[in-house]
Amino acid sequence: MQDIINEFQKEGTINLDIFKWVRNDKELMTILDEEYRMYDYHTRLIDSKSNRGWCRTMYHSLFQQLIRGDIYYYTCYMVLRRAVYLISYPYYTKFAKPGDKTRFRHVDINLGQAALRQGNEEMIQGSVSWDDEDPTNCTPILTRFHHHLAEYQQWRVAKGMDKKGAIEAWQDNVDWPQELRSRWPEVRWVNTICKPGMVRISDPRLPHGSNGPATKIRRTMLPWFVRVNDDMETMEFEPMGTYDQLAKAHRNLTAGPKSPSGHPNMYGGISIPFAGATPPVFTSKISQAIHCQILWNSPGVLLELLNLFGPNGTKDGYWDFVTARRKEVAKSVKERWIVCKKFEMAAFGDNSFWRKKGPQSSQRDTKTSLVEELMKELNTSDFAG
Ligand SMILES: [Fe+2]
């Protein structure tokens, strides 16, 4: 873990192959493909405008919950930001397809506040990738930029460019001219290229973005692990909302009140859960706490933390625990995916993705009501009991 910390602190970003165990499970990878296609099918174009590669209906898919609850993934964030009480801020996914206008460059946080350490500069961020990325289809990052942030901000102010420290859209010719490139030659744009199941974890002070337009399918999920304060009410960055609001979003499987950066939800988020969305079963108290199913400071969670990370915790014990929980959650995702598909068909009737696109489409009776459908399924299904 020390290697990871060193690399992260030096470069400001790191790629880790955390979900190799998912990549090696063909059944899980099939569910991933199916889930993405189903949510994408239910994503409307608003005012006929492109979603720029975002799947804005997909907030609580089984796969997103699987990655949020992964204990090793959580451990990396916990160590890198030296914070224990982290919850996942519900967020939509990326599903870019060839031709999507995915290119952008920006900084999520206010650099002026970050330079003074008065903002949300500790809120490290990242994504899980599910496709083979390449230089055209990946996340470019201005690595090592964070080491010079204070001087950079002084430069901006001296140039009269910046009164408040917020940069909406980063442009190299304005925000990173040759003058600065020559001053700090070790700071450079790097394409962070992942393969399926790899995660990128980045310092939020680094300018970053996406290359584009997309030339192939690229899917990513953003876990947004954010810190709840010791009072279990307020969050590390007040504009993002309160713990209760986020717990409600997890319970109801809806969007959070804002974005993790405190901005309004683009396109309104989702105010009702997706039909069929369901959490996998987590037996780990840590995984439950990440999803606001249980308070971080409750005894069960603290005991689990102590067992894993306390003085009597061992590396073997840690990995035995992580592996066992992964097996459980994989089994649960597979079981609940069957349920999700059935509910999607029941709820959407003739407009169901699975009736129209799924392998079962020709076998379905499209005339029964939702309740009749569910009763029939519950009486005969392989998920009853
Ligand atoms: Fe961003």
- Mapping DSSP onto H, E and C, the string for 185-244 reads CCCEEEEECCCCCCEEEECCCCCEEECCCCCCCEEEECCCEEEECCCCCCECCHHHCCHH
Rounded Cα–Cα distance for residues 314 and 307 (Å)? 9
Helix axes 71-81, 2-11, angle to 10 degrees: 60
10-residue mean pLDDT profile of the chain (385 residues): values are 94 97 97 95 72 87 98 97 96 92 88 80 92 96 95 90 74 93 96 97 94 93 97 95 97 93 78 89 98 98 97 96 98 95 91 78 46 62 49
Cα of 31 from ligand 1 centre, angstroms: 27
Q: What pLDDT shows up at residue 360?
A: 47
- Supply the pLDDT for residue 263: 84
Amino acid found at 285: K
User: What pLDDT is stored for residue 102 in this prediction?
Assistant: 86
Q: What spacing in Å lies between the alpha carbon of 228 and ligand 1's midpoint?
A: 21
Expressed in angstroms and rounded, the spacing between residue 105 Cα and the centre of ligand 1 is: 8
pLDDT attached to residue 384: 46
Distance 56 CA to ligand 1 centre (A): 16
Q: pLDDT of 306-324, one tens digit each?
A: 999 999 999 999 999 999 9
How far does residue 107's CA lie from ligand 1's centre (Å)?
Answer: 6
Mean pLDDT score of the chain, rounded to an integer? 89
CA of residue 261 to ligand 1 center, whole Å:
9
Q: What CATH homologous superfamily does 2-334 map to?
A: q2cbj1_9rhob like domain (2.60.120.620)
Distance 296 CA to ligand 1 centre (A): 27
pLDDT value at residue 363: 42
Q: Count H helices, E strands: the chain?
A: 15, 12
Gap from CA of 243 to ligand 1 centroid (Å): 22
Find the 108 Cα to ligand 1 centroid distance in Å. Answer: 5
Query: 177 CA distance to ligand 1 centroid (A)?
Result: 21
pLDDT score at 385: 42
